[in-house]
Structure 1
Amino acid sequence: MTKSATTAVGIDIGGTGIKGALVDLADGSLLTDRIKVPTPKGAEPDDVLGAVREVLATLEVTDSDVPLGVAFPAIVKNGRTLSAANVADTWIGFEAESFFEDGLGRDIHFANDADVAGVAEMRYGAARGKNGLVLLTTLGTGIGTAMIYNGVLIPNSELGHLHRPGHKKDFEHFAAYSAMERESLDWEEWAARLQPYYSHLEFLFSPDLFVVGGGVSKHADKFLPLLDLQTEIVPAVHRNNAGIIGAAALALASEQKGVHDDTTEDLAGTASS
């Protein structure tokens, strides 16, 4: 039984920082300050576990009755991490969910970081109340994606790794925000790279809405108007907090319904019954 019907903890593990907070899932607001610690150098499992423990201790929310969700930068299937983005290769093929549950002495809900950001935007942000297919993209070091159809999360879409026709490297290498920084592109030059990516997604999936997240989304007015698309495209609302909020939301869904990230349950809490 949970401490509150609408309260859960979200932990967002990234390549540079590990963030967490207690979340009121009635409206997606944070009930505590957002706690952040650096991701340990090398990001090996034991070191990351220690940093997560530090976040939970600082939050003073160690009660196992409060649902806990953890977002992680990897493909996650049945609690196992099948890839590693900006963390140690040790995580590839690793039983991560069981590792955290054993290390923390409690049940958790464990999911891909872009997927939980998508859930946060569906429940409390730019995609709230939107039916059909929503594609969230996070533009940063890479390109993370989340697909949600009528409130149902389709996990581990990894659409940043779509191959560019006639090129060896994928769209992520070509069009992520890191490419803009690496090659000193201006907004117009970067938008010219984003254009074929979003046009390709549009052709493949005919989405009803694009939501663009990542820290750069706070500058959405500088590049989104430069894109020529048939699909509505809007900036995300919950930029730095999306992983925390989404992880907490999925933790509560799992607690209440026995939901796991590889099912077709209504993880976003929006589908009609």
Structure 2
Amino acid sequence: MPDSCVLGVDLGGTAIKLGLFSRDGELLADHQRPTPQPATPGSVCVEIVEAIGSLDPDGLASMVGIGLPGPMDADARVARVCINLPGWEEVPLAAWLEPRLKRRVTLANDGNCALVGEAWKGAAVGCSDVVLLTLGTGVGGGVMLGGKLFTGHNGAAAEPGLITLFPEGPDCNSGNRGSLEQYASITGLGRLSDAEPSSLAMAASRGDEQAKAQWERYGQLLGTGISSLVYMFTPQLVLLGGGLAGASEHFLPAVRREVNTRVQAVSREGLQIKPCALGNGAGRLGAARLAIDRLRSRPSLQAG
């Protein structure tokens, strides 16, 4: 029956991942399709409508949570900017989608969605102070303090991938230079190696010394950025998600060494740094949970 389920959508630079969930977070069905290229707001809107129609043709879910790579407005209705997607500035995506889907829609930063998913069903269960980084096309993330998402003034926080690592480094689409994203994203890894991430991981697993050294350097750079985040938030847990986290065995030791070297003991006391438990499913699960939390008290939209 309607309202028994909720839809979670995770919009990435290369794929749109959807899940139909029960109210207690059980995955009932899922669907994935490529993100249209170029990923303009109009083309993405059409793709989401079609994907949800394929996944939930009977309208079992009256609520939709959507994770996007950027900050939302305070009402979680407007995508303020998605720096790695063309044309995404002040896009009223919820208002566009609701009459087409006949369902309530709420928006959230994709890193925040991943963090909420991990706190609900994954590696952050029972933790109150967590920093999460998503390592993929860009570097997103989220911060939880005292058991609540830290979203800052007007809902634009947190963007941990946009902190400065090297002031004179490569230009970032955010307007910054030398941001952590420029060194810890797939593009950043590409500055260390011509190999695709999966090929580089396989080479390291075979014992290739050059590949191992490239992952080591990647871990050092990522660990340098994480060190600044640890000083700011002193979390219990730092989680690493996104596509590159699948190769964490090759760079996580270097990350931990860098943090231990750069961060004084009192600021990293009890700190754990580890991969997400839910993999690429965390974002859509967290988007669904945020929809439940935000929209369950509101009446459903009626089909026209």
TM-score normalized by structure 2? 0.77
SS of the residue aligned with 2:81? coil
Is 1:11–1:247's contact at 8 Å kept on the other side of the alignment? yes
Greater mean alpha carbon deviation, residues 190-199 or residues 215-224:
215-224
Aligned to 1:98: 95
- What amino acid does structure 1 have at the position aligned with 2:180? F
Q: Give the structure 1 partner of residue 178 of structure 2.
A: 169
Shift of 1:113: 0.9
Q: Secondary structure at the match of 2:90?
A: coil
Aligned partners of 2:183 and 2:285: how far apart in 1? Answer: 29
User: Is contact 2:22-2:28 (8 Å) kept?
Assistant: yes
The unaligned stretches of length 5 or more in structure 2 are 152-156, 169-176, 194-210, 260-267, 299-304
Residue 237 of structure 1: how far off its partner (Å): 1.0
How much is the aligned-residue C-alpha RMSD, in angstroms? 2.0
Cα deviation code 1:117-172 (max 9, x no counterpart): 110011111100112x2001111122111011232112330111112354342121
The 4+ residue runs of structure 1 with deviation greater than 6 A are: none
User: In structure 2, what is the Cα distance between the partners aligned to 1:157 and 1:62?
Assistant: 36
Amino acid at match of 1:134: V
User: What is the identity percentage for the equivalent residue pairs of Structure 1 and Structure 2?
Assistant: 31
- Counterparts of 1:235 and 1:59 in 2: how far apart (Å)? 29
Q: Deviations over 1:159-215 (max 9, x none)?
A: 111123543421211232431134307211111111211111112221221011112
Call closer, same or farther: CA 1:202–1:65 in 2, change over 3 Å.
closer
Give the structure 2 partner of residue 86 of structure 1.
Answer: 84
CA apart distance, 1:62 = 5.0
Aligned equivalents of 2:79, 2:67: Cα separation in 1: 11
Match of 2:287 among 244, 247, 269: 247
1:22 equivalent among 20, 23, 42? 20
Aligned residues: 252
Contact 1:214–1:239, Cα closer than 8 Å, also in 2: yes
Query: 1:8·1:68 contact (CA, 8 Å) conserved in 2?
Result: yes
Residue 219 in 1 paired to residue 247 in 2?
yes
Equivalent residue number for residue 31 of structure 2 = 35
2:116 is matched with 119
Decide which structure has the larger Cα Rg and report it: 2
Gaps of 5+ in 1: 259-273
